Amino acid sequence: MNSGTLFSRYENYQGAYCRHRCRSYILVGAYFNLTLTEAQVDIWVAFGMGRNFRFYSITAICSSLGEAKSRALPVFHAVTGCDTVSAFKGKSKKSTWQAWLANEEITETFAYLSSHPFEQLEIDSDHFWKIERLIVIIYNRTSHLSCVNEARKEIFCQKSHSIDRIPPTKDALLQHIRRALYQAGLWTTCMQASLVA
């Protein structure tokens, strides 16, 4: 579901309601930016039609996730695939979310990268290594490997996976992550008067 209706209630304005139709990633950026302010905001999203129509409280979801994971969402959403950044073939948001839960140390990396938009990531950086490890877990949850190139070889040699179901190469992953960080940077700075260079 890529779009929904955003309902927000601003406590500072005596419970006034605003209604906006928007894409799901706008919610990620909006919530990220609104948590940086002191305003009390209650954000709701309406998704679905007919019997599948539901209201979801974005504020409650982010509260249950905790501040660090909520701040990490823009980078997670971009890295795992969105409208402008490709997804990993055959890997859904649900399976990548489960990999994130199995590798909690990535939360700190995602939160840091969300708070430092447009940071140039290098192949030998600690943040890249942690994201690379997450990608290995996405493709093979039981793997002890940290390098996607080694994981590609291991998965390919098992012969139970087709060639299009193996992780990207290290260099391709670096470019993918750079695209994702650029997109996440746009979301996390979308409410600022000027972009951070």
> pLDDT tens digit string along 148-186?
999 999 988 886 767 878 999 999 999 999 999 999 988
Largest CA distance in the chain: 62
Q: How many CA atoms lie within 13 A of 172 on its CB side?
A: 11
Which of 195, 165, 183 minimizes the C-alpha distance to 25? 183
8 pLDDT higher than 60 = no
Q: How confident is the model at residue 17 (pLDDT cuts 50, 70, 90)?
A: very low
Q: Which residue has the higher pLDDT, 32 or 60?
A: 60
Mean pLDDT over 84-112 rounds to: 92
Report yes or no: 121 and 177 within 8 Å, Cβ to Cβ. yes
Round the average pLDDT of the chain to a whole number and report it. Answer: 81
Strand partners, 6: 20, 45
Most confident of 4-8, 56-60, 89-93, 186-190: 89-93
The β-bridge partners of 109 are none
**Gap between the Cα atoms of 136 and 174, Å rounded:** 14
Higher model confidence: residue 171 or residue 54?
A: 171
Query: What average pLDDT does this structure show over 87-116?
Result: 93
pLDDT-above-90 percentage for the chain: 42
Q: Is residue 139 within 8 Å of residue 151, measured between CB atoms?
A: yes
Helix, strand, coil shares, percent, the chain, to 5 = 55, 15, 35
**CA 179/CA 50 separation, integer angstroms:** 37
Confidence at residue 10, expressed as pLDDT on a 0 to 100 scale: 41
Output the CA–CA distances (angstroms, integers) from residue 41 to 47, 112, 120, 134, in the order listed. 19, 24, 32, 32
**Does residue 56 sit in helix, strand or coil?**
strand
At 65, the pLDDT band (50, 70, 90 cuts) reads confident
d(CA 180, CA 131): 12
Cα-to-chain-centroid distance, residue 119 = 16
Element (H, E) at 110: helix 106-115
CA dihedral 10, 16, 22, 26 (to 10 degrees): -10
pTM above 0.85, yes or no: no
Question: Which two three-digit tokens encode residue 11?
Answer: 């406590």
